[in-house]
Amino acid sequence: MKYSALKGVHDILPPDIYLWQKVESLAQEVFSLYGFQEIRLPIIESTDIFTRSIGETTDIVEKEMYTFPDRAGRSITLRPEGTASVVRAYVENHLYNLPSPQKFFYSGPMFRYERPQKGRFRQFYQIGIEAFGLAAPELDAEILSMLKVFLERLGVRGLNFKINSIGCEDCRPPFRMALVDFFSDKLNDLCPDCQRRYGYNPLRILDCKVERCIELRKGAPRVTDFLCEECRSHFASVLSSLRILDIPHEASPTLIRGLDYYTRTTFEVESEQLGSQKAVAAGGRYDRLVEEFGGPKTPAIGFAIGMERLTTLLKESGGILTPSPDIFIATIGKGAITEGALIAERLRAKDLWTEVGYDGSSLKSQLRKADRLASRFAFIIGDDEISTGKIKWKNLRDGSHGEADMSGLEDFVSSHLFDAKTR
Ligand code: HAM
């Protein structure tokens, strides 16, 4: 019987994993400079957390959630995204009582039953951030700046920051009416989902992926023409802060995100290198969600980065630096294997990655293996070395070689082979 991974899910193996680790540790480094702290949240939640926040008429909730009853019959969902869980945790743990703003980052797998294709998976990974308690437009610009700094430090180039404002609950009703009006004579040509959405959430038609609907919405009213005074001024300040911080961006009035919780600022960061699934990161404000989850009125904003898409870009731009052993100890004979094991432990205690040839193969074949692993040094121990107390070493990069006393080996290794310069 041969098993394979489920459709749309994937293993992350070496050497790719080194890119993932680099991204994760740099995220932690950069995000901490802006005051974000890590939180770890469950992968399963009550289904209504997502239906309530993402929205009943969104593609995610209607078609893509992995939802199942648990053994007690409760409806459970594998999280399709992180924001809803962070808001749930923020309210449940009364984090609004702590000084504002509270800023968090998280990473981990998300699950959406989408049609798998390049850049789109059913289990995919995000790194996300969420900031609570500050409505200032400067914060919107600051988190975009953080995203830019992070992506630049990783060496990703050629990104396009698209930004829009989708207003608030005051601007929504007139915009909604204008949409209803615009689509009224096109209703029969819309896809069945959009015909249904027309009645209770016409905004969703603007996010539909069906070719016919994309065509029909050309010339549709733009949300930016319906912003109330406060939303208009917020958006203008965000754009001016972006200019001050020197963040190239493109105002994108048709950018309507696929989740219902957004208010005001929304954005996506795209790369043309990614093909049809271009968005490497996306996010926005959601100033009403904390209140909807039973907390106090609390403005909030965040984004999430798609790890698969980001690591694809990194692989294309610079490849992967794979770590390799510092030392390979080739052994000749049983006694040497035991001695090799002991020496290896002493070297590892000095933070050196050490491998031992345990398989009893010829010296030649062990040295070939050391080469294949790209080890920096090979050490050789046999009966002669054990009786003289000397070990042979060879630098596999420049061919230099010599002998060292087994007793003070650690000192010799750190002063002669791995001095500060070569480490
Ligand atoms: P989202 O746009 O649904 O937003 O996802 C954010 C990013 O996750 C996308 O830009 C993409 O890079 C990646 N992504 C989404 N779906 C898939 C998939 N099926 N396969 C691979 N990558 C995918 C959110 O999830 C919001 N929670 C972001 C946010 C945080 N807004 C406010 N705070």
- 59-95 per-position pLDDT tens digit: 999 999 999 999 999 999 999 999 999 999 999 999 9
Q: What is the mean pLDDT of residues 174-182?
A: 95
Atom 31 of ligand 1, residue of closest alpha carbon: 283
80 lines ligand 1 (CB under 6 A): no
**Parts of the chain belonging to CATH 3.40.50.800:** 327-422
Residue 416's pLDDT band, with cuts at 50, 70 and 90, is confident
The two structure tokens encoding residue 249: 């961006």
Is residue 259 within 8 Å of 102, Cβ to Cβ? no
Please, where are the H alpha helices in 184-326? 192-200, 211-216, 229-244, 289-292, 307-318
Is residue 406 within 8 Å of 385, Cβ to Cβ? yes
CA distance 322 to 379: 22
Q: What is the mean pLDDT of residues 279-289?
A: 98
114 lines ligand 1 (CB under 6 A): yes
Atom 13 of ligand 1, residue of closest alpha carbon: 306
126 lines ligand 1 (CB under 6 A): yes
CATH superfamily, region 16-161+249-317: Bira Bifunctional Protein; Domain 2 (3.30.930.10)
Q: What is the DSSP secondary-structure string of 352-385?
A: --EEE--S---HHHHHHHHHHTT-SEEEEE-HHH
Atom 21 of ligand 1, residue of closest alpha carbon: 120
The two structure tokens encoding residue 37: 């702290």
Atom 10 of ligand 1, residue of closest alpha carbon: 281
CA distance 57 to 64: 12
281 lines ligand 1 (CB under 6 A): yes
pLDDT of residue 342: 97
Distance (angstroms) between ligand 1 centre and the Cα of 281 equals: 7
Q: What is the mean pLDDT of residues 309-326?
A: 90
- 349-394 per-position pLDDT tens digit: 999 999 999 999 999 999 999 999 999 999 999 999 999 999 999 9
83 lines ligand 1 (CB under 6 A): yes
Atom 20 of ligand 1, residue of closest alpha carbon: 120
Half-sphere exposure for 127 (CA within 13 Å, toward CB)? 23
* Beta sheet of 159-165, edge-to-edge order: 37-38, 102-111, 123-132, 300-306, 279-285, 263-271, 159-165, 250-251
* E strand residue ranges, 9-118: 37-38, 44-46, 66-69, 75-78, 102-111
pLDDT of residue 185: 94
- Taking residue 174's Cβ as centre, other Cβ atoms within 10 Å add up to 14
- 213-251 per-position pLDDT tens digit: 999 999 999 999 999 999 999 999 999 999 999 999 999
Statement: the pTM of the whole predicted model exceeds 0.85:
yes
CA distance 403 to 122: 55
Q: By CB neighbour count within 10 A (0-12 exposed, 13-18 middle, 19+ buried), where does 269 fall? A: buried
The two structure tokens encoding residue 238: 């965000």
Beta bridge partners of 110: 124
Distance (angstroms) between ligand 1 centre and the Cα of 126 equals: 7
* Beta sheet of 66-69, edge-to-edge order: 44-46, 75-78, 66-69
pLDDT of residue 209: 85
**Parts of the chain belonging to CATH 3.30.930.10:** 16-161+249-317
The two structure tokens encoding residue 400: 């230099």
Beta bridge partners of 37: 104
CATH superfamily, region 327-422: Anticodon-binding domain (3.40.50.800)
Distance (angstroms) between ligand 1 centre and the Cα of 124 equals: 9
Backbone torsions φ then ψ of 55, nearest 5 degrees: 110, 135
Distance (angstroms) between ligand 1 centre and the Cα of 129 equals: 12
Q: What is the mean pLDDT of residues 140-147?
A: 98
User: Is the predicted pLDDT of residue 332 greater than 80, yes or no?
Assistant: yes
The two structure tokens encoding residue 192: 């069945």
Pocket-testing residue among 110, 114, 276, ligand 1, by greatest number of atoms within 8 A of Cβ: 110
The pLDDT mean for the chain works out to 95
Lowest mean pLDDT among 6-15, 88-97, 201-210, 323-332: 201-210
- 39-64 per-position pLDDT tens digit: 999 999 999 999 999 999 899 999 99
Residue 419's pLDDT band, with cuts at 50, 70 and 90, is confident
pLDDT of residue 317: 84
The two structure tokens encoding residue 32: 């901490």
Closest atom of ligand 1 to CA, residue 126 = 8
Name which of 242, 216, 413 is nearest 326 in CA terms: 413
- Taking residue 115's Cβ as centre, other Cβ atoms within 10 Å add up to 11
Atom 16 of ligand 1, residue of closest alpha carbon: 120
User: Is the predicted pLDDT of residue 338 greater than 60, yes or no?
Assistant: yes
280 lines ligand 1 (CB under 6 A): yes
- 382-397 per-position pLDDT tens digit: 999 999 999 999 999 9
